[in-house]
Amino acid sequence: MTDMMTTLPTMLRSLRLPAFVAHYLDAAGKAAAEHATYEQYLQHLTEIEHAERRQRRIDKNLRASNLPREKTLAQLDLAKVPTAVRRQVPTLCEGGFADRAENILIFGLPGRGKSHTACAIGHELVLRGMTVYFTPAFKLVQRLLAARRDLKMERELNRLDAFDVMIIDDIGYIQQDRDEMEVLFTLLAERYERRSVVITSNLVFSQWDRIFKDPMTTAAAVDRMVHHSIILEMNGPSVRAEAAMARTEATPAAEGLSL
């Protein structure tokens, strides 16, 4: 019996059951005290293993996502989000759009909460077991240009294809030369009707010729993005401006109290 108890953790580790290793003794004591059956004991351990494995997968996907940790749904002030968008957010967080390979396009002037809304949805998708990757548009373009230069474009596209959802933030701020336009268009074309893209932009579709330059490429990009897409318009006041105003108004009062 002693030899078996000594080797059991080793065998469980070889089977990649770390939760069994960590909890089997405590679970055995609890099962004995409650007069549980062998099946109940095994089910209890299996449930622990399943829950911990799921959490490890979520933690791994969150690290890989590059999502800003502070831009979660809990930190999003939905009261300042336009009503039409606020009604859509819970459904989008369930991830059905990703299952259908649909896109989300979030338009609005700077400071309207576009990025936070996109990231909040991304965080919720990770919690539901999906893989998400967040990147500012300019960094994505630099990454793709480097891959093309090194003749590794296909490999890079395959790496990005592993993510169920890509969030491309601030697409209107890339430098917009022809090479950048080409690699960005290639990515969007690769994911079309296969994988979801979430894009935030301060430029509406009629202004996307500033991004893609060539009218035909602009039309093709817009066509691919509009087809199977959900459009969110962040047309409220600037969240950042309101926050700055609130801090400014609170400062004199706080200084007065300190005196």
At residue 10, the pLDDT reads 85
The segments of the chain whose pLDDT lies below 50 read: 1-2, 4, 245, 257-259
Q: pLDDT tens digits, residue range 116-133? A: 999 999 999 999 999 999
Could you give the residue range(s) of every CATH 3.40.50.300 domain in the chain?
70-241
At residue 249, the pLDDT reads 55
At residue 19, the pLDDT reads 86
Q: 232: which 2 tokens?
A: 């969110």
Q: 83: which 2 tokens?
A: 């009503």
Q: How far apart are CA 201 and CA 177, in angstroms?
A: 18
Complete DSSP assignment for 25-83: HHHHHHHHHTT--HHHHHHHHHHHHHHHHHHHHHHHHHHHHT--TT--TTTS-GGGS-H
Q: CATH second-level architecture of 70-241?
A: 3-Layer(aba) Sandwich (3.40)
Q: Model's pTM, two decimal places?
A: 0.79
